[in-house]
Structure 1
């Protein structure tokens, strides 16, 4: 029987929350991302065992990452306290879209009612400032706001579009009457931006006419779902998307074995059952989530096209670290918080579907595939009431 190493994964996340392994310390500048992966990961394992006081301490730590706007017009978060510099050096202390989402997601897991501490109109003013309203990238979002000049900074792609819409959802801005949305985004432009990145094969890409990518496909589909897009309204591209996603699960026909002695460059037996992000690429733990969650967003009937038994065997026997817990990107890689969280998220999403029995499965608690947070976090969000 395969084994899901619950106690080791728990210890791994707790380690990363307190002191990053040497190989991961360069990621301290993304502190809120690491906190999100670890806290939400523990929640998926049913091991976020904190007292009320401990939850408050963690929540206070997250709120310390809020950026104080001298004009009191926006609210936002920084990615790490590393960037909290004196005001004369605040060119580096910039309002960050992803950090804002990670902060909100982590606060939900801590059952911290941020509706009591934050102003959603000021948060949405920040988000709306990041939307591009002119030019070839019109409708998309950039990730960072320059406080001095008020200019948006960085590249535009579907990751930031999805992130912006997740923040909007967590603030329940989409539930407000139109006349009360003081600083909403242009949802029609956002939808057009996403649809312009659907490729001929159904996958979605960073820019028009560039290669389809599984992670960006999830971000695009998730963003459309957050905009209440009807996937049945265009059966042609959606059918192509389903086909392309299903073909991201790695397997090799018997005939390919003839090439093994000739060192066929795309052959790796360890990848069987896993998923890749693009054609002719090797398997990677994170795509187990991006691909199957994308299918789940499109409908349960498409989600069932996956070989769940092979997928679980890949994660449990190939990319799970049996030595220290966590998951690496593949069988040869050191575990890291991102792949650890997404590996566990995938197993949670697939729970009970394969018929494959493995120890530790019953610990998995449930996940909201649209917002990529635990079901307990999602339930807490639903009961929050903004004044």
Structure 2
């Protein structure tokens, strides 16, 4: 089994931020806030967050805030709950949540809850269980879960549960590992995991492991992808069924997706690397207790020490 090329990955993540005129940077311009969360959290898990200029990052994050209290994916972009959570997570990494008008941010997020308990992503009204998780995680980090109807939020998530034990983006939608993380994560944060049939869901999730490569996929008959080393694995950990997969084979799959010369991790071996898969590869290895990495919280998708610091603040 190979080794994690940690220093190369640090160099890759830092270089992405500096190449603002590159194709990758231009096409990611509208989701730069998410990219900042992926890259900075990966650096923290690798123990290298100190290479970043904290004040520069915090200043940029605040410039992405809209008058509504929500955050856009970049300066001048419309606010969305997706980018709002990433902004809160980035500030949490640096212990800088105190720079926020927390009531304003929390009111923006809480205002997106619908009568049935679901959440819209922004003012245009798209509904998805991703947004339920994002709202719950964000408000929990801000200590403002009391601003929403948690019971209705939980009931809506449970209405998206399928007969196979998984969850979809809306009631009746196909089970998907990414949506399962969102639903299980939201239920974990709200203390509602007892509503899940853990054996049924655990079986569906462990079947996502490809026997040949050891990688995990998001749905039946799909190719394995490094990002599911987070989405599926974190859910298995939260429902205490991670022992149902072959951890060593999954570690090997993630390590095989590295560019050991230039840094970065790809979706599958020999594909182009990117910050998204680099983060989820490192995060997956952290969940698998790979040596030298900080521990990550499977529900909040932040380093355990960051979550503990925020929780102990309560």
TM interval, shorter chain, is: over 0.9
- Give distance in 2, aligned partners of 1:23 and 1:78: 19
**Cα root mean square deviation, aligned:** 1.8
Give 1:217's aligned residue: 180
Unpaired segments ≥5 residues, structure 1: 70-74, 85-92, 146-152, 175-180, 252-268, 353-360
Give 1:63's aligned residue: 62
CA deviation profile, 1:24-63 (whole Å, cap 9, x unmatched): 5301111111111111110000011248xx3122212211
| SS class of match (1:107) | helix
Give 2:95's aligned residue: 111
| SS class of match (1:104) | helix
**What is the count of residue pairs matched by the alignment?**
313
- Residues 45, 365 of structure 1: 8 Å contact kept: yes
- Give distance in 1, aligned partners of 2:202 and 2:3: 31
CA drift of 1:323 comes to 3.2
CA drift of 1:285 comes to 0.6
| SS class of match (2:266) | coil
Question: Does residue 313 of structure 2 align to residue 335 of structure 1?
Answer: no
- Give distance in 2, aligned partners of 1:191 and 1:276: 26
Give 1:227's aligned residue: 190
* Residue in structure 2 matching 1:125, options 94, 104, 107: 107
- Give distance in 2, aligned partners of 1:379 and 1:64: 28
- Give distance in 2, aligned partners of 1:5 and 1:106: 24
* Residue in structure 2 matching 1:250, options 196, 200, 210: 210
Does 158-167 or 366-375 show the bigger shift? 366-375
* Residue in structure 2 matching 1:294, options 203, 217, 235: 235
Unpaired segments ≥5 residues, structure 2: none
CA drift of 1:95 comes to 2.3
Does 242-251 or 322-331 show the bigger shift? 322-331
Give 1:382's aligned residue: 311
CA deviation profile, 1:110-161 (whole Å, cap 9, x unmatched): 222x23x32332222211221121xxxx22111113xxxxxxx142111111
- Give distance in 2, aligned partners of 1:243 and 1:383: 34
- Residues 121, 128 of structure 2: 8 Å contact kept: no
CA deviation profile, 1:235-270 (whole Å, cap 9, x unmatched): xx332101101111111xxxxxxxxxxxxxxxxx5x
Question: Does residue 140 of structure 2 align to residue 162 of structure 1?
Answer: no
Question: Cα–Cα, structure 1 residues 283 and 186, in superposed 2: closer, same or farther, change >3 Å?
Answer: same
- Give distance in 2, aligned partners of 1:367 and 1:18: 27
- Residues 19, 25 of structure 2: 8 Å contact kept: no
| SS class of match (1:59) | helix
- Residues 108, 377 of structure 1: 8 Å contact kept: yes
| SS class of match (1:311) | helix
- Give distance in 1, aligned partners of 2:286 and 2:162: 30
| SS class of match (2:227) | helix
- Give distance in 1, aligned partners of 2:271 and 2:6: 19
Give 1:189's aligned residue: 152
Question: Does residue 262 of structure 2 align to residue 313 of structure 1?
Answer: no
* Residue in structure 2 matching 1:371, options 300, 305, 311: 300
| SS class of match (1:3) | coil
- Give distance in 2, aligned partners of 1:221 and 1:45: 26
